[in-house]
Amino acid sequence: MKKLSLFASAALLATSMTYAGGEGWMHDFEAAKAKAAKENKDLLIDFTGSDWCSWCIKLNKEVFIHDSFKEGVADKYVLVELDYPNDKSILDEKTIKQNEELQKVYPVQGFPTILLADAQGRPYGQTGYQKGGPEAYLTHLSELQQAKTQRDEAFAAAEKLEGLEKAKALYSALKQTPDAFQSLYSDTVNQIIKLDPKDETGLAAAEKAQATQANFESSLQAAMESQNIEELLKLVDTHIADQKLEGEEKQQVLTIKINPLLSAGNFDGVEKLLDEIVAVSPDSRLSKSVEQFRATQLPKIKENAAEKAE
């Protein structure tokens, strides 16, 4: 009996850790979409790090676990928790794999990220931690919900048009959604491109640029994981040349080289790189940051490296 009791306690603990939001939150994304479609609701998706993200934990304790919040959203949203904990043992393998794939589909930049999306999973609103407790958060969500109304009205108006006018109207409606997630509106994107073969909206060019950037970032990640510094440096230079980057945009991409060169202990290379960055646009804000790094942080990094080498 004692062993059974301990096992039950451990199971309950694992459940509470896995489902940080408590009861009422779903974790199977496809099942959540199906439920939302059946009940004519939207999705409230919480990208969280339940055992390491302090703001996620704070938002959960102050808002998400409270019955008043769950009751307040019950008629509008299906709640979905996508957890990315440090301790992977609190999730089953199926959920881990699902969440990893969804992080590629939804390029969130930090945790917590809260997305409001329709039943198809297309985001129309984005937020994060908000102070004030459940009632204030519900008010905030109601304000974000207005974006869906505006989106749907714009799409409906566009459907009454034809040809290029329709393409422009659809593009205008699409731009009312969060920029980072517009690729999830694939049907609308494809329709605009088809109606606008000369790309007067600029959408096709934007899609191509986004795909190029995504490929660049993926290649960089692979080079970093394999610790292939030469390949990484080459990727940066090729990207700058191919995209004809100038000014602060070029400076920003060049900064990618700093950490790999530091990791390799190539301080001469770092110095030359800093000179190159500043030369692109000497009076830019980034140039000032680079010079400050050179004057204050780089000497300390060199000193620490020399001490470790002794």
Residue 21's pLDDT band (boundaries 50, 70, 90)?
Answer: low
Query: What average pLDDT is seen over the chain?
Result: 91
Task: Report whether pLDDT(7) > 60.
Answer: no
Residue 22 is predicted with a pLDDT of 67
Tens of pLDDT, residue by residue over 242-294, are 999 999 999 999 999 999 999 999 999 999 999 999 999 999 999 999 999 99
C-alpha dihedral sign at 277, 283, 284, 285: positive
Residue 206 is predicted with a pLDDT of 87
Task: Report whether pLDDT(133) > 80.
Answer: yes
Residue 211 is predicted with a pLDDT of 86
Task: Report whether pLDDT(9) > 60.
Answer: no
| Interatomic CA distance for residues 155 and 120, integer angstroms | 15
C-alpha dihedral sign at 279, 218, 45, 169: positive
Class of the 13-145 domain? Answer: alpha beta
Query: What separation in angstroms does the CA of 171 have from each of 76, 144, 148, 176, 279?
Result: 27, 20, 15, 9, 39
Instruction: For residue 225, give every residue at least 6 positions away whose Cβ sits within 8 Å of its Cβ, in sequence order, or none.
Output: none
Task: Report whether pLDDT(17) > 50.
Answer: no
| Interatomic CA distance for residues 219 and 7, integer angstroms | 45
Task: Give all strands of the β-sheet with 77-83 in edge-to-edge order.
Answer: 25-26, 77-83, 42-48, 113-117, 123-127
The amino acid at residue 79 is: L
Tens of pLDDT, residue by residue over 38-97, are 999 999 999 999 999 999 999 999 999 999 999 999 999 999 999 999 999 999 999 999
Closest alpha carbon to 53 in 81, 21, 84, 79: 84
Residue 310's pLDDT band (boundaries 50, 70, 90)?
Answer: confident
Task: Report whether pLDDT(116) > 70.
Answer: yes
| Least reliable range by pLDDT among 26-30, 50-54, 109-113, 305-309 | 305-309
Tens of pLDDT, residue by residue over 188-213, are 999 999 999 999 999 999 888 888 98
Residue 23 is predicted with a pLDDT of 82
Residue 19's pLDDT band (boundaries 50, 70, 90)?
Answer: low
Task: Report whether pLDDT(156) > 90.
Answer: yes
Higher pLDDT, 6 or 213: 213
Task: Report whether pLDDT(2) > 50.
Answer: no
Indicate the domain borders of the chain: 13-145, 151-200, 207-309
Task: Quote the pTM value.
Answer: 0.71
Q: By percentage, how much of the chain surpasses pLDDT 90?
A: 85
